[in-house]
Structure 1
Amino acid sequence: MFGNNFLTRFEGSQVNVDILKNLTLIDSPGVLSGEKQTLGRSYSYDDVLNWFAERSDMIILLFDVQKLDISDEMGSAIKVLQKYSDKIKVVLNKSDTISHQQLMKVYGALLWSLGKVINTPEVTRVYIGSFWDQPLKNEDTAPLLEMEMADLLRDLAALPRLGAVRKINDIVKRIRQIRTHVVLLNHLREAMPAMFGKDKKKKELLDGLGVVFRTVMKQHNISVGDFPDMAKFKRDVELLDFTELPKIKGRRMQGGKRLEALDEALNVRIPALLNRLPGMNKP
């Protein structure tokens, strides 16, 4: 998908470490800065980053306390990751090389810089530490860094279970989107006249797609977040014959599929599946 130039640079290794028995870590190459950014890469860095981010359970942005500036490529990468903001954790590495006062200033500066590129109302979780196999250099900040690093390791250890929950949530999101898509297409078909004025009615529906969305939302009690992007939906359906769109008959869709099956999955099967996960049925 990303070409041979990417494949020749993609390497894998196996390490006999307890925490990695249930995890796979993807270490992306460092982002470029200065004149190196103008040289570019031999593959689309953003596309590769997006592909892995979509399939990951946690995204860790690693910053050096001595290099907090966000380059153009780093800013572009963060914008790619924006839609996965709930997965993002930030690590401030080499925090033992500066004093406690300096660490506070660097921590605040990093949050300020991230606030300009990560557009989310929630404050991004930042772990501070020194992630290598040597003792911490600063005794004053050592207790704090040890607690922070332990928090990150606990979050990593919990990923296998949380990853299963995330996958189930993705299934729920997909089911809700499919259900919304079905009732939208059914509404467009039912709004079409039986004989004359089909082209005029189709244009009226497309021009008033916002009204259509609000009507379907109220009739079927659907959340706003379950609807597709209006502009993209309009582009996808404007070339279709609305009289040939899938139709719901007594809540039974053409082809033998039924909306009841989607409702049963959401209300019965998915909750039962969640209850089978370790720790999910405990308060």
Structure 2
Amino acid sequence: MKGLFSACCLVMLLVLGTAEEVEDVLEPPMRERSHIDATLRLNEETKSDDYSATLQRLKKIYHTAVRPLEQAYKYNELRQYEITAYPGRTLASSATDGEITSKPMVLFLGPWSVGKSTMINYLLELTDSAHQLYTGAEPTTSEFTVIMHGEKTRSVEGIVMAADSARSFSPLEKFGQNFLEKLVGIEIPHKLLERVSFVDTPGIIENRKQQERGYPFNDVCQWFIDRADLIFVVFDPTKLDVGLELEMLFRQLKGRESQIRIILNKADSLATQELMRVYGALFWSLAPLINVTEPPRVYVSSFWPYEYNPETHKDLFLKEEISLLEDLNQVIENRLENKIAFIRQHAIRVRIHALLVDRYLQTFKDKMTFFSDAELVFNEIVEDPDKFYIFKSILAKTNVSKFDLPNREAYGDFFGINPIASFKLLSQQCSYMGGCLLEKIERAITHELPVLLESIGSGKNPTFPSCDTTGCGEKPKNRYKKN
């Protein structure tokens, strides 16, 4: 009867009323949003922190201490997805200045029409504006959309984003022109975007194959996952089924549990008892996919600009929304610390890779005789590295954790495209003026990057040893050269 009465009222308005009156009936009232500005501190006239000097120092450390070893041992050709021992944020290729200086990235993932685009519109006040992200009950987002700050609102094509070396998206060219046509950037002059960027992704459709998209969807998702500081995986109460594509997504998120936040959206569309059942069903569906002791944080609310359904727990939903905004603000506040920690983590991986290549090369040289077949000798080493203590020797001679060692099978492919003879021993990677590459990256890992990180909290300028105290001009002492 209630539905019939509403329909009758609507017909009456269509006959007797104006278009504006009809719109008022159809559209629920907008809810107050001052908590967003307060939690994210968008209205505070605070002095912006000048991190340019720290970022310049970070870039210098990377280019002088980390990049040379990357290039010397071709770290960027080590296949990333096979390095299963490396949890968390990874960087398979050389970092660009754009990646080092880029803002924190928040990635939105999930099935189609769960409210990802609506949530971004809500946070950035784009709802009902000319520049809002398109939303609807059907699959609407077919592109990877990067929402970033700009002096005026405009769209940027994917090919332009990939060609601009000042941005951090140039590596996306490797996914081909078909993908670049599905990549779009939107620049908006919003205060929140001065400190963070959002990435909206196409919804997961379980009956669609990667080939139908025209580009490697999972590989593109992995690229964004590896660079995201915060990952929102959004669900709708009516779309809790787990299929092959969603399973693949959670396999790609393995090791990133600390960055993942699960969002059960549109919560005010359900009665309390039904919402409890859905919440339990969500955990039941995701339990096999998230195999960790402590599951990711789950936020239950309705992230859109309209008033909550009055017959639901709107106070709870508001508290959940504020908690999520605090989470987002924490990522923004810690952006520089996270960047330094990321570069240090990357430097550790580059160092381990260089040590392993050096050990493979030294073993090969030791095994070779005048009558040996070089190809047969090296194939034997690659096929059974444990026989020659390749990995165990790294653990014995250096302060390397066994949990940081990469997958040994990855080196079969690596040496398949990079002949062992194309590398030099670490003991030969030294120069009179420049010092040894290994010692430079070790100094960055153990001293320079920790000092830079400490300087952020103390507010003091970092101090590093000068050539007068370290003897930069002296002939370097090579600890790795055999006597």
3-state SS of paired residue (1:117): coil
Displaced runs of 4 or more, over 6 A: 238-241
Give the structure 1 partner of residue 301 of structure 2.
129
Of 174-183 and 88-97, the range deviating more from structure 2: 174-183
**Is 1:205 matched up with 2:381?**
yes
Q: 1:271 pairs with 434, 444, 450, which one?
A: 450
1:161 and 1:277 in contact (8 A); partners too: no
2:265 and 2:301 in contact (8 A); partners too: yes
Q: 2:288 pairs with 108, 116, 129, which one?
A: 116
Give the structure 2 partner of residue 165 of structure 1.
337
1:29–1:54 Cα change, 3 Å:
same
2:383 and 2:412 in contact (8 A); partners too: no
1:246 and 1:253 in contact (8 A); partners too: yes
Give the structure 2 partner of residue 231 of structure 1.
409
3-state SS of paired residue (1:25): strand
1:246 and 1:254 in contact (8 A); partners too: no
1:257–1:160 Cα change, 3 Å:
farther
Structure 1 CA distance for aligned equivalents of residues 394 and 190 of structure 2: 52
**Is 1:40 matched up with 2:212?**
yes
Q: Alignment length, in residue pairs?
A: 278
3-state SS of paired residue (2:451): helix
Q: TM-score, normalised by structure 2?
A: 0.51
Q: CA deviation at 1:152?
A: 0.9
Paired letter, 1:52 = F
Return 5+ residue gaps in structure 1 as ranges. none
Give the structure 1 partner of residue 183 of structure 2.
10
Instruction: For 1:1-283, list aligned pairs within 5 A.
Output: 1=173, 2-34=175-207, 40-138=212-310, 140-191=312-363, 192-193=366-367, 195-196=369-370, 198=372, 199=374, 202-210=378-386, 211-237=389-415, 245-249=423-427, 253-254=429-430, 256-277=435-456
Higher RCO (C-alpha 8 Å, min separation 6): 2
1:182 and 1:246 in contact (8 A); partners too: no
Q: CA deviation at 1:173?
A: 2.1
1:65–1:266 Cα change, 3 Å:
same
Structure 1 CA distance for aligned equivalents of residues 278 and 348 of structure 2: 43
Q: CA deviation at 1:197?
A: 6.2
Structure 2 CA distance for aligned equivalents of residues 4 and 243 of structure 1: 35
2:300 and 2:317 in contact (8 A); partners too: yes
Q: CA deviation at 1:161?
A: 3.4
1:202–1:13 Cα change, 3 Å:
closer
Return 5+ residue gaps in structure 2 as ranges. 1-172, 461-483
1:127 and 1:149 in contact (8 A); partners too: yes
Matched-pair identity in %: 28
Between Structure 1 and Structure 2, whose CA radius of gyration is higher?
2
Structure 1 CA distance for aligned equivalents of residues 369 and 214 of structure 2: 56
Structure 2 CA distance for aligned equivalents of residues 73 and 93 of structure 1: 20
Structure 2 CA distance for aligned equivalents of residues 193 and 9 of structure 1: 51
Q: What CA deviation, in whole Å up to 9, does each residue of 1:15-53 have, x standing for no partner?
A: 45443331111111222245x669932333222222222
